[in-house]
Every structure is written in structure tokens, then in C-alpha cells.
Structure 1
Amino acid sequence: MYQSPVSRLCSALRDVSALCASSLRQQPHHSPVRRRALPQPVLGSLAGLGCCHSLAGWIGDGQAKAVPSSGTAPAAAPAVGAAGTGARSASRAVCSMGNSTSRLYSALAKTLSSSSTAVSQHQEELEASDHDQLDPLDPKDLLEECQVALQERPARLRREFVGLRNGFSSQPQPFRVMQWNILAQALGEGKDNFIKCPVEALKWEERKYLILEEILMYRPDVLCLQEVDHYFDTFQPILSRMGYQCTFLAKPWSPCLDVEHNNGPDGCALFFLQDRFQLVSSSKIRLSARTLKTNQVAIAETLQCSATGRLLCVVVTHLKARTGWERFRLAQGSDLLRNLETITQGAKVPSIICGDFNAEPTEEVYKRFASSSLNLNSAYKLLSEDGESEPPYTTWKIRPTGECCLTLDYIWYSQHALKVNSALSLLTEEQIGPNRLPSFNYPSDHLSLVCDFSFNEDPDRLL
């Protein structure tokens, strides 16, 4: 059952300390610990290793096992070559972790220790804890290690970036935004009833590699996630070490808590690279439906772009699910827009709003965003022939009630101040396959949306 972040982190720290101590007792006292290169055949049996020779040794749960795999990486991943090349490269990543006294392993212990202290004081201090004092993690090494752990998985699905005809800009440094409902682990295993998805494909020991691989593949400058129930033990420790500033807001009454052996409440999380943006202000919003406080939340952060000095308000949210709640979603969306009117000073600061709205384009909440005073447009409309139609689906799953193929996820942006340069294509029906999502080669029932944006040089001209 659910444990508080403090107890979970302290428990993990005790496990880390015990394993480190055990390993140190096995080392000669008179000689320093040295990294020992793993022979090539060992890469195929990482699951049998008991310490941090694999990413599983320090991601999420301390008992996770690395699952070897042999999938072909998507073309969008320049760091991953053919299977043989990937294995050789991944060997370097795995070997760099060495044994339980390696740099990464000891750094994790520091992360857990400092995090548990911070949680006991304030959650905000945990999120802003000083991770720069820890050794940074190389995204290429982590991606390679994910590839090693996924060698026995089917090949990942190929997606390409599509350049948009009206999206090219002379701005030298576009920035990338990723929106994704990653599927809460407790819901995937406990409540969502994906009747065509094998149970093995839903295990966290495997799904976490696929989720991290997808993020590492596209390297967003801004990352917006929903249904995050492994924030404190996976996403915050890892992404903060990769240079991201991290913010999390849990749902007040998360349905994950109804599932036995859950990992705590799910919520929204927002991450941005600190070498691309600086935080100006941050707001955590519990959405209201008229006067009623609801179970849905949003995070809105005003950032300053390091390259241009321009301000940008980035928002992540997740509205109420299921049919019959259309008016409720409209009220929640209207409340969020009212908050953003204040935060953006009446749209003087441009916005990017990412979310699982649980609303199709025919719903009133969608129309409210499209007609708001923030002058918003939906980025993925620009992939259509006429530039006015949303994709046919962003989620496709099969439940006991039937097949569900809907467009629910969006990246809204201020069209007077921002341009969409390119967007990541969606998977075809053939790629998704007859059993739909999630699957052995895709970890969520929602597709990730990824766009490259740039600032317009003269935004006032288009107001």
C-alpha cells in the first residue's frame, strides 16, 4: 500500500546503504575500488546481476530486474545504431556503472538521502534540491542502457518529425516540447482493464525502460507528463541529474490509492532544462468547477528563454475523464483559462498548454480554448491537409466496454508569439497493431506529442 515519500525514500536509502556496505565488505581494505569491464556475453544476462550493473538497479524500485531485449531503435534516435553497434555502445554505459560502489550508485544514495531530508521539511525544497552537486547523468549513456535492457522486446515503433510549411523561422534556437500521459502504473495494472494487453507488458520493471527511452529519444527542452505515480523514485531523481528542473502536483484523491500495492497518488509533472530556461514563477492550481474544488490539477510556470530573453508560460494539466462529464470539463477548463489570464498578464506572456483534456474536438471545453483571449491554436492541427483538423486519435485502447479511438491530448500555443516548426508524426493503425495500446513496444495507452517551437520575431504585429 501507499507509503509517504519520506518513508519510501528512507526505505530505499536503507536498502542502498545495506547493499553498498555488503559490497564494500567484499573489497580488500588496502586497495581502491576499481571499475571492471564486463565481458560482452554478460550483456545478455543483466537480469542476473545483483547490483547496479543495469539501470534497473537504481530506477524506481530497488528490486527491479533488467530485461534484455533486441529491438531496433527508431530513426529519430541518432545515438542508437544497429543492434550490434547498440550493444557495443551499451556495454560502455553498463560498465561505467561498475559495481555497487560506482559513481552512479553512490550518487543515487546521496540523492535519496538529500531528498528524504527535504521531503520531511517541504515538498518544494525537495523539488528544488541542489542536484548540481551530484554527478550529472549523460542522456546518451542512459538511452544506451535502456536499449540494453530492452533487447528482447519487439522493435520500437518508428516515428518521424514532419516540418510544417508555415513553421520555419529564422530563430537560431528552437525549443522542443513533449506532452504525454504515460499511464499511471497502479491504474495500468489495477483498474484500466486493457483486455488485449498482456499482463507482462504492464509490469513497471519493463515499462519504465520504454517510458524513459521515449523521453531520451526526443530530448525535450520542456516535458509535460500526466498520470505520474513514480515521480519521487524515478522521474525526479533521474531527470534532475540530466539538468531538468522538476515540479510535481498530485491529485488530491488519486484513484491510484484504491489499488493494492500502489506507489502513491498520481499527478501532473513539469520538467524543463535549466540550460535553456530559467524559472521566473511557478503556480500549482487545483482546478475548480464553479465553486467546487475538484480532483484535477494544473502546474503553470513562467520561464525565461536563455537564448532570447523572452518569457513563456508553460502549463500541464489533466481534466476529468469519462463521458457524461462534459460540463464538468468545461468548468475546469474555464477555471484554468481564468488563472492563466492573470498569470500571463492578459496574454502578454505567450503560453504553451499541454494536457490530456479527456475531451474530443467537438466538446465545449475544446472550443473554449480555441476561442479564448489567449489567442491559442492547437499545434497538431497543423499536420492536417487544411491545417484545421485534429489528428484522428491520440489514444487507442481496448477495454471490456469496447474499443476506444479518440483525440484527447493537445499542445495549445499562443499563435501570435510562437511558431510550430515541426511535429512528431503519430503512429499508424498498422504500427499500433490489432491489440492496440499499451503493448510490448509502447508503454502507454496515449501517444506522446512532440513539437519544435520558436518565438516570432515581431509578436505584436500579429496581435
Structure 2
Amino acid sequence: MGKDNIDIEKLKQEKKAKKLEKKKLSQQKAQEKQQKQLPPPKPLIRSFHAIPNRKQLSKTPLGTFSIMSFNLLAQCLIKRKLFPDSGDMLKWKTRRNMVSAEIEMYKSDIMCLQEVDNYTEYYKPILEKLGYMAEYTKHPKKLHGLLIAYNPKVFQMIKYATVDYDNDALCTKTWITSNIGQIMALKYVDHPEFGIVIGNTHLYWRPVALYERLRQTTIFINSIMNVQNALQYAEPNTQWVPIPIGDFNTTPNDPSHTAVTMACISSNEEAQLEASRTNPGSLLSDPATTSEDGNDSATKTIPEQTPEQDESEKIDQKEIQATISASELVAILHKSSPELWHSIYSCHGDIDPKTSQPGSGEPKFTNYTAAFKNTLDYMYLRKNESLLVPTEVLTLPPEETVMPSLPNRNFGSDHMCLISKFEFTV
């Protein structure tokens, strides 16, 4: 009798399980049908806003132009479990159309792009069709790279160079990261007496690598200034303005950002940098973030769960002893550019406090994923720059349009693009 009862109960459970599975499959089919009926996603149109109380040129403006910075989210870095809300938006055929449509929507005169893969087969013909000329580069150990594109009707390229942070001798590294930078000198076609030296970079991603990020920032800005100074000497009839841009993987509270924008760093920031310098891998159990080391099995990873997928390396103790102190590193940064730098998007707090960070005025976010939401992307200009002023910026969208995380049907990348409009004189 007891056995019969057990068999009946087992049959009931199996029947219930089958019913639930059937219901689940039915719901999935209904969802798939609904998704097929949805129109193809299009990027949300964002608005430009004049910079409040902006600096004015001392002379009549000679011309205007615009610059975009945009981390595209390399397809080779995508891992679905780290983008749990994105669903079909992670598919390359869907996402690439969103990203290229966003690029085409704004038609910036200059674009600094990061995490660019599928360049030859996809982005190169797209950019050529839009009338851009471009320089693309990637580190041999990575499957994604950097790209600077420009409108040849507005600018003429005069010089191009790349920066490899692992091999730069300015100051000793604490990590082998395979991160790079680009530098391009562009002369304004209608007014060749004016030019810019624009830098595009994507710095090392580990949150704990504060010192290495400051080191890479220092090398990047020093390299830009070396090109600018050389051109100013070689072509004295042209005024050259430096503009560092990119994904610095640096939040507004990071010591690197302070070092770039302020005359000195705090004692607490110096202590953080020193800890990061002397023991660079000591805090690898920090909160999860996504890996940006594109390799043959490249995925965005949570480091403490899958550290073997991160190809960056700490250097040995002997090399660490050869590194300079944080204060010396900051001194090199300030010597390479005696004028401090201003983050153009720090005006966002005056435009829309709801989508801005208190204190710094920086956007509340430029990167919006399930694991991380903050500002990492910047456009810098010298604080006392007299020949070039930003006039408008592309504002952040309402936060509800990016929730719960990116990519989504409004935006094809996990980063917001930044765009500033400028006017210049000589």
C-alpha cells in the first residue's frame, strides 16, 4: 500500500513538473514572438546643451568643430553572464547597427573610439561611407583597439603616433597591461594657422591599479605635449592645442583625476597610490568589475571568479623597487604640462544635477553595467586655454533610459558617448 502511495505521489510530481516546463516553454515562445514583432532598435537621440557660464574667446571665433569620445564595447569582450539584462542586444548583428547609427546620428568632425574590433570587415567601410578618414591600432596581444577618425573636409592630418605604456621608459611600470594610446595632429583646413594635437587612449582597468593608471596617464599626457611642442617649433605659424580624450578607467574620485585637474593630491590619495605601487596585486578581491584584456578567449570577466582569463601581469619585486614614488610621478605629470587640465564634462552638474555627481559636476555615469555604474570617460582641455573653448556638450539621457543596465534597446554600448562642440581663434 505504501509503495502504491509513493508511486502515485511521484507521478503527480512528474506531471506537475511537465506542466511547469510546458508553461515555461510557452512563455519563452511568446516572448520570442513579441521580440520578433518589435521594430529594430534605434539609438535614443540625446540633446546638446550650451555650457553654462562658459569661458569666452578674447577674439572673434574663426571656426567651430565637434569631438566625440566613445567606447564601443568590443564584441570579443562580451560574456552574457556579465550582461544579464541585455538579452538579444548582445548579438553582434543587432548591436553593431545600434553603434554605427549612433556614430552617424551625431556626425562629429573628430571621433576618438575605444574597444574597436571587427574594424576591417565592419567599421572601416562604415566610416569610409560616412566620409571619414581614420587611423586604427591595437596591441598585438589584444583583439580590440583604438581609432581616431576625422572629417577631411574640416581637418588635415599632419602627424600620427602611438604610445605603448608597457614599453615607455618615462617611468617604470607596475603591471604589464598591453594598453596603448594614439596621438594625432590635425590642422584646420580653412584656417591652417590653427591645429589640435588630440590623444585617444584606453587605460588599465583594474580598480586597484591606481598607481599604474596614474603612470599611464602621465605617459599619455607627456607624449601629447612632446608632439605639441615639437610641432609648435617646426610650424610656428600654426597654433597647436592639446586635447587628451578617452576611457581613462578613472572615476572622479580616483587620484589620477585629481592629479590631472588639481595642483596637488591629498595625503590620503598619495597613500592609496603608494599602496598600489609597492604591492600592486594585494587588493585583487576588490568589488567585481569587468576585465578589458582582450585575448584569444577574450571575455569580460569578474577577476576574482575567473582570474586566469586576465592576461595582464604584475612585475616582480625588483622592478617594483625601481618605480618612483607617487609624489615624484605627480611631479613628472605637472612638469610635462605646467598648466592644469579641466574636464570639459565637469559642467554637467550645472546642466542637469539629477544625472551628475555632487562636488565634481561630472556625469553620474558614462559606463552603466550590472556590476558597475560610474564615470570613466573624459575630455580634457588646459584650464587656461585661450585659443579653444567648449561651447556645448551632449547631455546624459534620463537614467531610466539606461536601466537596469546597458546595452539595451536605447544604446548599443555599455558606455555613453561624449561629444563637445568647440569654437576657436588664433
TM-score in terms of structure 1 length: 0.59
Q: Deviations over 1:4-47 (max 9, x none)?
A: xxxxxxxxxxxxxxxxxxxxxxxxxxxxxxxxxxxxxxxxxxxx
1:313–1:452 Cα change, 3 Å: same
Contact 1:355 1:411 in 2 (8 A): yes
Distance (whole Å) between structure 1 residues aligned to residue 389 and residue 208 of structure 2? 35
1:391 aligns with 2:341: no
Task: Indicate which of 30, 33, 39 corresponds to 1:152.
Answer: 39
Q: Distance in 1 between matches of 2:49 and 2:244?
A: 21
Taking structure 1 as reference, are residues 231 and 346 closer, same or farther at Cα in structure 2, changes over 3 Å only? same
Distance in 1 separating the partners of 2:99 and 2:134: 17
Deviation at 1:320, TM superposition (A): 0.5
Closer, same or farther: CA 167–242 of 1 in aligned 2, 3 Å: farther
Q: What SS does structure 2 have at the residue aligned with 1:312?
A: strand
Q: Which residues of 2 match residues 263-278 of structure 1 at below 5 A?
A: 265-278=143-156
Equivalent-residue separation in structure 1 for 2:55 and 2:108 (angstroms):
18
2:162 paired residue among 276, 284, 288: 284
Counterpart AA for 2:158: V
Query: CA offsets per residue over residues 113-159 of structure 1, 9 Å max, x none?
Result: xxxxxxxxxxxxxxxxxxxxxxxxxxxxxxxxxxxxxx813564231
Please list the CA deviations of residues 356-394 of structure 1 after superposition, one character each: whole Å capped at 9, or x if unmatched.
Answer: 111111212212222442542111112222995211111
CA contact (8 A) 2:245 2:378 kept: yes
**1:167 CA displacement:** 5.4
Cross-structure match for 2:91: 203
Cα displacement (A) at 1:168: 6.2
Aligned residue among 368, 380, 386 for 2:345? 380
Tell me the SS of whatever aligns to 2:165: strand
Separation in 1, partners of 2:116, 2:81: 15
Quote the residue 1:322 is aligned against.
Answer: 206
Aligned to 2:133: 245
Q: What do the CA deviations read for 1:35-63 (whole angstroms, capped 9, x no partner)?
A: xxxxxxxxxxxxxxxxxxxxxxxxxxxxx
Corresponding residue SS for 1:237:
helix
Return the offset for 1:226. 0.5
Tell me the SS of whatever aligns to 1:176. Answer: strand
Determine the structure 1 residue equivalent to 2:237.
Answer: none
Partner of 1:222: 110
Match for 2:382: what amino acid? S
Measure, in 2, the Cα distance between the counterparts of 1:378 and 1:294: 25
- The 1-side partners of 2:40 and 2:89 are apart by 10
Match of 1:173 in 2: 63
**Cα drift, residue 412 of structure 1:** 1.0
Distance 2:130 2:402 in 1: 30
SS at match of 2:229: coil
Paired residue for 1:111?
A: none
Alignment of 1:52-71 (within 5 A): none
Q: Secondary structure at the match of 1:224?
A: strand
Cα distance per residue 1:295-329 (max 9 Å; x no partner): 10011011101122202101110000121111111
Q: 1:436 aligns with which of 396, 405, 408?
A: 405
Please provide the CA RMSD for this pair. Answer: 2.5
**1:79 matched to which residue of 2?**
none
- Answering whether residue 253 of structure 2 is matched by residue 362 of structure 1, we say yes
Paired with 1:376 and 1:69, the residues of 2 have a C-alpha distance of 48
C-alpha distance in structure 1 between counterparts of 2:340 and 2:388, whole Å: 11
Q: Distance between the aligned counterparts of 1:336 and 1:303, measured in 2?
A: 18
> Which residue of structure 2 aligns with residue 308 of structure 1?
191
Letter of the 1:171 counterpart: P
177, 182, 189: which is aligned to 1:299?
A: 182
Choose the corresponding residue for 1:406, options 350, 369, 374: 374
Secondary structure in structure 2 of the residue aligned to 1:385: helix
Q: 1:326 to 1:438 in 2, by over 3 A?
A: same
Identify if the C-alpha distance between structure 1 residues 295 and 305 changes in structure 2 by more than 3 Å, giving closer, same or farther.
Answer: same
Conserved? CA contact 1:320–1:358, under 8 Å: yes
Normalising by structure 2, we get a TM-score of 0.64
User: Distance in 2 between the 1:182 and 1:252 partners?
Assistant: 19
Contact 1:176 1:222 in 2 (8 A): yes
Q: Which runs of 4+ in 1 moved over 6 A?
A: none
User: Is 1:194 aligned to residue 83 of structure 2?
Assistant: yes
CA contact (8 A) 2:68 2:110 kept: yes
State which of 87, 101, 122 in structure 2 corresponds to 1:234.
122
Measured at CA, do residues 182 and 291 of structure 1 come closer, stay the same or move farther in structure 2, by a change above 3 Å?
A: same
Contact 2:362 2:375 in 1 (8 A): yes
Equivalent residues of 1:181, 1:225 under 8 A apart? yes
For structure 1, which runs of at least 5 residues remain unmatched after alignment? 1-67, 71-150, 255-264, 459-463
1:446, distance to aligned residue in structure 2 (A): 0.5
User: Does the CA contact (< 8 Å) of 1:341 and 1:347 recur in 2?
Assistant: no
Q: CA separation in 2, counterparts of 1:153 and 1:299?
A: 34
Using the TM superposition, name which of 160-169 and 275-284 deviates more: 160-169
**Cα 1:326–1:388, aligned 2, differ >3 Å: closer, same or farther?**
closer
In structure 2, relative to structure 1, the CA distance for the partners of 1:353 and 1:322 (3 Å cut) is same
Alpha-carbon distance in structure 1 between the residues aligned to 2:82 and 2:401: 22
Q: Deviations over 1:149-190 (max 9, x none)?
A: xx81356423110011315664253101000001001112x3
- The one-letter amino acid of 1:336's match is F
Matched residues in 1 for 2:215 and 2:118: separation? 29
Letter in 1 for 2:203: L
Q: Which has the larger radius of gyration?
A: 2
